[in-house]
Every structure is written in C-alpha cells, then in structure tokens.
Structure 1
Amino acid sequence: MNDNREAFGSRLGFILVSAGCAIGLGNVWRFPFITGQYGGAAFVLIYLFFLAVFGFPILVMEFAVGRASRRGVGASFARLEKPGHKWHYAGVPMIAANYLLMMFYTTVTGWMLYYFYRMVTMGDLMMMSPAEVGAEFGVMLSNAPLLCFWMVVAVSLGLSIVALGLKKGVEGVTKIMMSALLVIMLLLMLRAVTLPGAAEGLKFYLMPDFAKLREAGLGKVIFAALGQSFFTLSLGIGSMSIFGSYIDKRHSLPKEAANICILDTGVALVAGLIIIPSCFAFGLSPNAGPGLIFATLPNVFAQMPAGRICGAAFFLFMSFAALSTLVAVFENIVAFWIDVRNVPRVKAVKWNFVAIVLLSLPCALGFNVLSGFEPFGEGSCVLDLEDFLVSNTFLPLGALVFVLFCNHKFGWKQENFLTEANSGNGIRIPVNPVLCFYFKWVLPAVIFVILVFGYLEKFAPGLYARIFG
C-alpha cells in the first residue's frame, strides 16, 4: 500500500475541489426545475433546513473517515475498523458506484460541451422556434456518433486533469474552473434579474407562499427537499472522503463542511436566480422538468439582448459544473488503484480511460442504437437505469454505511469520530446526549426512509401517491 500521500497545496484548493464535486448538474440543472415544480421559495426553505440537519453531518462523517485513515474508501475502512471486522468490504461497491456514476455522467457532460460548442460556432439554436429547439435536442440524442464523440471528449478532459496529479491537475485546474464558474454565474444572474418581467420570477423564487406546498402535495415536497439535500452533496460513495484524506488537522471538519455546504447551496440558489426569472420574463414555465435546460432555455437566450453570448456563457458554466464533478470522481477512482493496488497515477489513468469509455457506451447508445431497451417501461432508457441505481441505491446505502461506521461501537465508535471531526480550529460538534442519539439512530432511520420511498416511487407509484396524498 502506497504511503507517499499527496496533499492539497492550499486550504482554498481543498474547499474548491470538494465543492466542485458537490456542485454538479444536481445544483445547476435539477435544483431550479425541482424548485419550480414544488412551489418556489417555500420549497427552498424546507430544502435548506434538511441540508443543515441531514446533509451537513453526513458530509462531516465522510471527511472524518478520509482524514483519519489518510486513504480513499478502497482502504479507509480497513485502516479504521477493529481487527476481524469486515467494514472494508464496503469499499468495493462504493468504488463500483463511482464507475456507475461515470457511465452516464460522462454522456451528460458531453451534452453540455456540445451545446457550448454549438452556441459558439453556429448559434443556430437562436434562430429556431420553441418547437424546433425542443426537437433539436431529440435530434442530438438520436445521433450515436455525435454522443459517443462528446462522451470521449468529456472523459479525455477529466482524466487528463487527474493525470497531472493532485496539486497541478485536480487542485490547480479545478480552482480555475470553479473561479470562472462563479464569475460567469454572477454575470448571468445580474442579466437575468434585470430583465423586464423578471420581478414575478423573483417573487416566486424568493417570497415563500406556503399555499403552493399544498398545491404540490406537502408530503411530496418534503420528500423531494429531503432527497435534494442528500443528493446535492454526492454523499455515500466516498467521493467526498477522498478529499478528507488529503487535508491536515489545522481546521475542524465541521468548519470545512460548512464552507462547502454554503458554496454548494449558493451555486444552486444562484442557478435558480438565472433560470427562474428568465423563464418568467419571457412567459415560459419554470417547471418544465429536465428539458428546461435544453428545450426551454435556448428560447430564453434567443429573446435576450446579446443572447448568443449569454447562451454560450450559460453552457460554459454548465460544462464547468459537470467537469468539476467528473474530475473529483475520477480522482476517487484513480486514488483507489493507487491506494489499494499501488498502481502509478499515470498508468491508472490510462487503464481507466479505456474502461470508462467502454462502460459509458451503453448510455451514449441508449438513446439511439439501444433505444429498444426500456428498463422501466415505455420512454425509459439506459441512463434512467444507471441513474436510479446510483441515486436511489448506492448513495443511500453508502451513506448508511458511513453513519453506522462512525457512530456505533461495532464500527469506528462515535467518540473516535467526534474526536477526529473536532480536531483543529473552527466550528465543533457539541458532544451531548441528544446530538449523539440523533447521529446514532435518527440519521440511519432517515436514510432508510429515503431508500424505501425511492423504490416505492419507482416501482409502486400508486402506493407512493397514497402515502403522500
């Protein structure tokens, strides 16, 4: 096992890289449309509450396991578990989940890169009617060579950065991408909120109207907010604990986790300030679902002054958001081979380039060549299956492992976790019976509920609808 552990060159690098992993398409794609679907500002308040009481402590636990072990999930449990215990077996399915995530995330990242390229070089989307723009997204999905090409571009970019090493590659490039992402988002936000007619969108997004919760179904809203607070931080597959393994103990982990939660949430909220006021300004619905980005927003940009520039900037920041997650997860995968098999970084990158491209092909072909494969019935595809397995199975199960491992005596033990988490300057977790009970029993129960209801929603929608009214 390799003991020449790399480390971040700066604390800012750790924060931006960790936030880059969390700040993915779940923030800038899913958050705005799910906010639109579930009533706007009232949903945002519920989401923020669950992020604080649920997502935040699990993030601290992932960081603690990584920092205490100085390893990624492939070896961290083995270093911390008691002799004879079998927690280390959890590392393999967690790394498998990272591969599974990349099997579809690389394809979706390719979509963002392609739309950015198209906005810059052609701009033809700006001259199409709303119906034509929506149809054009379907044309792209039907083009197998095009999707495969941009998927390979995404894999190449992500792994090339990882091949440069932690400081020069992952940290250095992610700093640039994240800084550019934040600047572009702020500029787009300023443009969106000053559009004529944007005030109604701001009211919808920022002024809570709890009557909208009843319209959407209070139970559905609560569960959606709970799920979003969990999934937004990429918890449960070790993609956060790997970065904990690269930092020292000068700062407490609650302090570091708070910074990342604030940055992650800030990006999600600003994304909403770009998309929702823009939709209201041009009479379009903010609850258009996943098609909001590709079928609706190009029409918004077409009607803006300097719309092509704004559209190109928007898809550039979407590409940076997606690539920052790719780089973070690729680093977790490559670190697994370095930690567990002592494979040199460059060789691990080369092997994984071939493996991830091959594993990603079913998703890229799932909209065309393999479109006859409909795992969840008519209209579903390979991406839906892979996304369901990651989001509704591996993430909650992995988070359950981290919570149980950190808080029970048959794992690492709660006192060891709290000691590690509170080492360093900054915010500390109070050690009191109520909070310890919450970590030990309530958090696992909540994760189990997410797991069960996720399956009910997919396989027993009638029962799910009756439960949530």
Structure 2
Amino acid sequence: MQQREKFASRLGFILISAGCAIGLGNVWRFPYITGKYGGAAFVILYLLFLVILGLPVMVMEFAVGRASQKSCAKSFEILEPKGSKWHWYSWLGFGGCYLLMMFYTTVGGWMISYIIKSAQGAFDTTAPDVVFANMLANPVEQVGWMLVTVVLGFLVCSLGLQKGVERITKVMMSCLFLIMIVLCIRSVTLDGAVEGLKFYLVPDFGKMFENGWASFGEAVYAAMGQSFFTLSLGISAMAIFGSYIGKERRLLGEALNIGVLDTLVALMAGLIIFPACFAFGVNPGEGPGLVFVTLPSVFNQMWGSRLWGVLFFLFMSFAALSTVIAVFENLISFCMDKWGWERKKAVIVNGIAVAILSLPCALGFNVWSSVTLPGIGDIQTIEDFIISNNILPIGSLIYLLFCLSKRGWGWENFIAEADTGRGLKFPKWSRLYLKYVLPLLILIIFIMGYLPKFQTWLGL
C-alpha cells in the first residue's frame, strides 16, 4: 500500500489551506459590500458570522479528512456506520471541484493576461473597458489563457505534495502578502486617500438602516454569505488538507489561523482599492468591472502606472492560482484514493478533462454568448450559481449533519478528532447551536440565493 504524502510543515498546511480560501471574491466583492453596508460596521458583522458560521464547518471538513486520512473519495466510506449512504456525497464534492474549476480557470487566465497587458502599456492608448471587451470577444485569447492556467496548476501538482503544491504555494502566498503590503502603502499615501479610508474603515451603522430593517436584513445576509462562501466550504476542498496533516495540533486553532489570513487579505484589498478610487474620483464598482476596468483607470493616473498595474495583477494571479492548485490537488487525490491511480496518470487525465470542461465558459463570452438562462445569465454565471448557491451550502450541510448525527460519524468521534493535539479546544457547549441553529442559517443562505431568481422567473 502506497504511503500517503504529508505536509513538510505546519506553515505549509496553513498557507495552502488559506490559499484555497483566498480567492478573487476577497478582492472584488468583499471591499464593495463592506463599503456599501457601513465600512467597519459591516466588518464586525462579517467577523461574527465567520466565527459562528464558517469556522465550525471548516473544522468539520478538516476532522473528516484527518480521521480518515483520505480525500472525500473514501473519507465518508471509512468513517460512516456500515450500511449508511453518506459516501454518495463524494461524487457531489468531486463534481463541485470540477464545476468550480470550469469557470475559475478562465478568470485566472484573465489575471495572467492582464499582467502582460499592464507591462505592455495596453491601457496607455486604449480605454480599459475596451481592452476588457476585446479580450472577452476573442475566443483564441480566452481559450489560450485558460489553458495557461490549467497547465500551470497541474504542472505544480505533478511535482508532488511537498515539492510542488506546498513549496510553490508557500512562495506564491509569501509574494502575495509582500505585494499587497507594497500596494497598500502606495494607495494610502495618495493625495485624497483619507476619504477612502474613512469610507472603508469608520463604522457607520446608519448605512445598515438606511431603508429601515430591510437594509439591515440585506447587510446581515451579505455578511452571512461572504463569511460562508469565502472559505470554499462544502466541496471537500478543505478536507483533503486535513488528510495531509498530523495529530500534533487541535483543529479549531488551525481553522482560526486560516480564517484570519483569509480575512486579512480581504481587508488589505479594501485598503488598496478604496483610497485609490477616492483619490482619483472613481466610483468603486462591483464585480469584474472593478478589477478589469475601474482599477486600470486608477493605475493609469498614477506615477509608474505600469509598475502598479503589473504588481496588482501579479497579486491577483497568485490569489487565483493558489485556489486553482489547491482544488486541482483535490481532484488528483480523489482519483488516487478512488481508483489507485499514480499521481502522473491522475494529473494527465484530470488536466485534459478540466481543459475540455472549461471551454464552455471561455467561449461563453463570444462564440456561445447566446447561451443564457433567464434570471441567471451567461455560462459563467450559470456555473457559478450551481456551485455557489447549491453545492456549497448542500455540501456544508452534509458535513455538519455527518459530524453531529448518530447515524453519521457522530459528535463524540468528531470532538475526539478535533481536540487531538495542542491548542484551542472545540467548544462542547456549542453542540445544541450546531445541531439546531447552524443548519437553519445554512438553509437561509440556500433559500436567499434562490429568492431573486424566483422573483425574476415569476416576473415580480
């Protein structure tokens, strides 16, 4: 029987898990909704939900992975009571990882291409919105950069867990934080940056109640959603890293470290974006437009515009690739555990499959732009909706029930695994909350994700 690889260091585990959690939503979504719902007031709400909503599920994923020493391909099968069907979830987790990569590889390709565009001065002569539109309209460019992302990700994974995934992710994450610090310093020292800092960091609870309790409800849901989705929970992306670590440390402390790093990146992204936008009188928009249109316009007005553009998109590429590599490792490990494949075979088969399955998204902005769903949108948005609004909450609920139910792994087994080692103990008094309140919160996130769609479908 082949010896299972382990992380060479605790730092490697923390940085890789954080790299999986740190995604593009940290950069373009978190700063926007933070500003919209009262700056620091929203951050307080977000941190509350991160602790009571995101972290418990992360600990459960880690515990299932570490106790079984397998990916989701075999973890439920090893831990579940005989005759139960929890292991059926493994296919949902596997499919969720694939679905996430089917659009994430395309967006990762955008980031890499923008490093080149910034270095070449593409925004010196052409408006950023035109550059972005031209890129989306070009199927060769879209597919080409998507393939670059796929090849880079699987190339790293092909080197193995320690020599590839761990070593290279450590370098990328270190560079990511270094670049962010440089960009933060530059942004907050711009003339007029103070107003952006006030907008972002000074608590304004009044913004949460601009339209009464309805506004507050929106802010609460936004905080719940961000704290939940930011950690990549529900597709076993975290469970795999639990299977690669030893029993020296308790899992709550490790999950807390990862949550802190994830939040730190999101907060620092806001310190880059808001001061710069306010300094140059630019409205910080939401979604891809913020990163690919608004910020290039801002950098264009700064001294050394090409340098700041290159640094920013290098940081964005590291954020994207850290997630891509982590999820690719999950796919590879699944195939190795499920069918006993060698790493080389798992890399080649999954590499070809991910490249082919990513084509609809890459072509969904040009050749297949007519393919849309009412109330949802284009191919990329459809894929994102299936994973974010369905698989992530359903998968998280399954992990929660599996760790709490006597018909699953059970509370006693979960607590014993989570509290093995040194560090923070998982609070046993939280059992009733986890059993009755947390499932309800996850169901609310699931239902609220569908509410706007139903309103559109019903013409309300």
- The two structures have a TM-score, normalised by structure 1, of 0.95
Find out whether 1:202 has 2:197 as its counterpart.
Answer: yes
Shift of 1:213: 1.3
1:430 is matched with 427
Q: How does 1:391-430 map to 2 (within 5 A)?
A: 391-430=388-427
- SS of the aligned residue for 2:210 comes to helix
CA distance in 2, matches of 1:400, 1:337: 24
C-alpha contact (below 8 Å) 1:457/1:464 kept by paired residues? no
Farther-moved stretch of structure 1 (317-326 vs 435-444): 435-444
- What SS does the aligned partner of 2:248 have? coil
Does residue 145 of the first structure (1) align with residue 140 of the second (2)? yes
| Equivalent in the alignment of 1:82 | 81
Q: Distance in 1 between matches of 2:271 and 2:295?
A: 13
Q: Distance in 2 between matches of 1:35 and 1:127?
A: 33
- What residue in structure 1 maps to residue 439 of structure 2? 444
Q: Does 1:12 align with 2:7?
A: no
User: Which residue does 2:175 correspond to in 1?
Assistant: 180
| Contact residue 250 and residue 425 of structure 1 kept, 8 A | yes
Q: Which amino acid aligns with 1:180?
A: C
| Inter-CA distance 291–134: structure 2 relative to 1 (3 Å threshold) | same
In the TM superposition, 1:305-316 aligns within 5 A as 305-316=303-314
Give runs of aligned pairs for residues 224-243 of structure 1, distance below 5 A.
Answer: 224-243=222-241
Task: Report the Cα offset of residue 268 of structure 1.
Answer: 0.6
**In 1, Cα distance between equivalents of 2:133 and 2:36:** 23
Offset of residue 3 of structure 1: 4.7
C-alpha displacement of 1:464: 12
In 1, the alpha carbon distance for the partners of 2:458 and 2:323 equals 35
Instruction: State the shift of 1:138 in Å.
Output: 1.1
Query: What displacement does 1:374 show?
Result: 1.2
Q: Does 1:169 align with 2:146?
A: no
Q: CA–CA distance in 1 between the matches of 2:434 and 2:174?
A: 34
1:125 paired residue number: 123
Supply the AA of the counterpart residue of 1:297. Answer: L
Q: SS in structure 2 opposite 1:372?
A: coil
Letter of the structure 1 residue corresponding to residue 301 of structure 2: Q
Contact 2:63/2:414 (8 A) holds in 1: yes
In structure 2, what is the Cα distance between the partners aligned to 1:412 and 1:74? 16
Q: How much does 1:41 deviate?
A: 2.2
Does structure 1 conserve the Cα–Cα contact (< 8 Å) formed by 2:29 and 2:286? no
Unaligned runs of 5+ in 2: none
Cα distance between partner residues in 2 of 1:55 and 1:464 = 34
Residue aligning to 2:380: 383
Q: Do the aligned partners of 1:126 and 1:299 also contact (CA within 8 Å) in 2?
A: no
Note the 1:450-461 alignment, pairs <5 A. Answer: 450-460=445-455
- Structure 2 match to 1:213: 208
Contact 2:248 2:420 in 1 (8 A): yes
1:36 and 1:286 in contact (8 A); partners too: no
Scaled by the length of structure 2, the TM-score of the pair is 0.97
Mapped to 1, the partners of 2:350 and 2:446 lie a distance apart of: 30
Q: Percent identity?
A: 55
Relative to structure 1, is the Cα distance of residues 3 and 445 closer, same or farther in structure 2, using a 3 angstrom cutoff?
farther
CA distance in 1, matches of 2:156, 2:251: 27
Q: Output the CA distance in 1 between the equivalents of 2:23 and 2:261.
A: 12
Amino acid in the other structure paired with 2:84? H
Distance 1:146 1:463 in 2: 38
Q: Tell me how far 1:460 sits from its aligned partner.
A: 2.1
Structure 2 partner of 1:341: 339
1:148-207 deviation per Cα after TM superposition (whole angstroms, max 9, x unaligned) = 000000000000000000000000000000000000000000100111101011111111
**Amino acid across the alignment from 2:47:** L
* Counterpart Cα distance in 1 of 2:216 and 2:299: 34
Contact kept in structure 2, 1:405 and 1:413, CA below 8 Å: yes
Give the letter aligned to residue 158 of structure 1: G
In structure 1, C-alpha distance between the alignment counterparts of 2:387 and 2:41, rounded to whole Å: 28
How far does residue 34 in structure 1 lie from its aligned partner after superposition? 2.5
**Post-superposition shift, 1:240?**
0.3
CA distance in 2, matches of 1:177, 1:126: 29
Q: Is 1:100 equivalent to 2:99 in the alignment?
A: yes
Structure 2 CA distance for aligned equivalents of residues 372 and 127 of structure 1: 31
Which of 139, 151, 154 is the matching residue for 2:149? Answer: 154
Q: C-alpha separation between the residues in 2 aligned to 1:304 and 1:249?
A: 50
How far does residue 461 in structure 1 lie from its aligned partner after superposition? 5.3
Report deviation, 1:40.
2.3
> 1:106 corresponds to which letter in structure 2?
T
CA distance in 1, matches of 2:318, 2:458: 39
- Secondary structure (helix, strand or coil) at the match of 1:73 reads coil
Distance between the aligned counterparts of 2:159 and 2:394, measured in 1? Answer: 32
Distance 1:123 1:241 in 2: 42
**Offset, 1:430:** 2.4
Q: Which runs of 5+ in 1 are unaligned?
A: none
Change over 3 Å in CA distance of 1:463–1:194 after alignment to 2:
farther
Change in Cα spacing, 1:202 to 1:422, as seen in structure 2 (3 Å) is same
Q: Secondary structure at the match of 1:140?
A: helix
Aligned partners of 1:235 and 1:395 also within 8 Å = yes
1:287: Cα distance to partner?
3.6
The equivalent of 1:22 in structure 2 is: 21
The structural deviation recorded for 1:221 is 1.2
Q: In structure 2, what is the Cα distance between the partners aligned to 1:8 and 1:21? A: 15
> C-alpha offsets along residues 215-259 of structure 1, whole Å, 9 cap, x if unaligned?
372111110110000000000000000000000010000011011
**What RMSD, in angstroms, separates the aligned Cα atoms of the two structures?**
1.5
After TM superposition, list the pairs within 5 Å mapping 1:192-341 onto structure 2. Answer: 192-215=187-210, 217-341=215-339
Cα drift, residue 425 of structure 1: 0.4
User: Do the aligned partners of residues 146 and 208 (structure 1) sit closer, same or farther apart at CA in structure 2, a change above 3 Å counting?
Assistant: same
The worse-fitting range, judged by mean Cα deviation, of 6-15 and 39-48 is: 39-48
Q: How many Å apart are 1:462 and its aligned residue?
A: 9.6
Query: Partner amino acid for 2:294?
Result: T
387-396 vs 298-307, greater mean Cα deviation: 298-307
Q: C-alpha separation between the residues in 2 aligned to 1:219 and 1:241? A: 32
Q: CA deviation at 1:453?
A: 0.9
Q: Secondary structure at the match of 1:268?
A: helix
Amino acid at match of 1:97: G
- Contact 1:33 / 1:290 at 8 angstroms: preserved in 2? no
